[in-house]
Amino acid sequence: MTQDTFTPQEEQQRAIRSRKLITYLILFAIVMFFAGLTSAYVVSMSGGYWTRITLPSAFLYSTVFIVLGSVTVHLGLMAGRKGDNKGAALWVALTLVLGLGFTWSQFEGWKDLVSKAISWSPNRMSKLTGTYGTDYVFQKDGVDLVLENGNYYLPTDVDGLRPLNAELDEQKDRTGPYLYALTVLHMAHLAFGLLSLLVMLGMALRARYTKEDHVGLWAGAMYWHFLGGLWVYLLLFLLFVH
């Protein structure tokens, strides 16, 4: 009976391929998870009353932070591929700072939502605050309601014969919980990204990355790129589909 043996270089390559495969599988699982959430969101919008909420401007700042972070982490990966651990450490540290900026802007966005009584648990639509038409709009069967003298009407009710306030008083805002779910769950995944950046920074500072073996840096960079792409997708989804 013969037993296959591998050289240290072959073992290293096998480990690198395994690490890359695991990374791709993790990203695929996250894609399917958020695809399910956004699909449920679309189904919930299909009929009845709905709230169209204007996204907080802080979420736009989040986009700037995470896109810039994608650039800096790529530069860190390029440095790692050259065996430049000092350069990799610098760019990864900058990515970490941008990641913390993203986290700050997310909390600012949630704070803005809370100030308008948009909460994680479904709140009554009639309890929402802010400026109607600017901060939020109520819809019925996909049609924006018109607010006149404190009463809500369908735009076809030009004579104001059937105010919908009584119906709205019985409805709960379903948009807020979905909005929180999508952004908070993305933030939860980003928390793991921040931890991976700390590990990558520590590895670079200890000069552990080489031209031949920098798969840990590659995996972390891929995950961060993915988080950036996922956030852009969620933002566009909420801006246009929402």
pLDDT in tens, 203-236: 999 999 988 888 889 999 999 999 999 999 999 9
Give CA–CA dist 224/82, Å, rounded: 20
Residue 129 burial (CB count, 10 A): 11
- Closest alpha carbon to 234 in 195, 72, 242: 242
The length of the chain, given as a count of residues: 242
Percent of the residues in the chain that have a pLDDT greater than 70, as a whole number: 96
Give CA–CA dist 22/36, Å, rounded: 21
Helix (H) / strand (E) containing 92: helix 85-115
Describe the chain by its helix, strand, coil percentages, rounded to 5: 65, 10, 25
Q: What are phi and psi of 54, to 5 degrees?
A: -75, 125
State whether the Cα torsion 186-189-195-201 is positive or negative. Answer: negative
Output the pLDDT for position 242: 62
Fold for the domain defined by 46-241: Four Helix Bundle (Hemerythrin (Met), subunit A) (1.20.120)
pLDDT tens-digit series, residues 87-142: 999 999 999 999 999 999 999 999 999 999 888 888 888 888 889 999 999 999 88
What letter would DSSP give residue 126?
G
Output the pLDDT for position 231: 97
- Closest alpha carbon to 110 in 100, 124, 120, 97: 120
Residue 62, SS3 per DSSP: helix
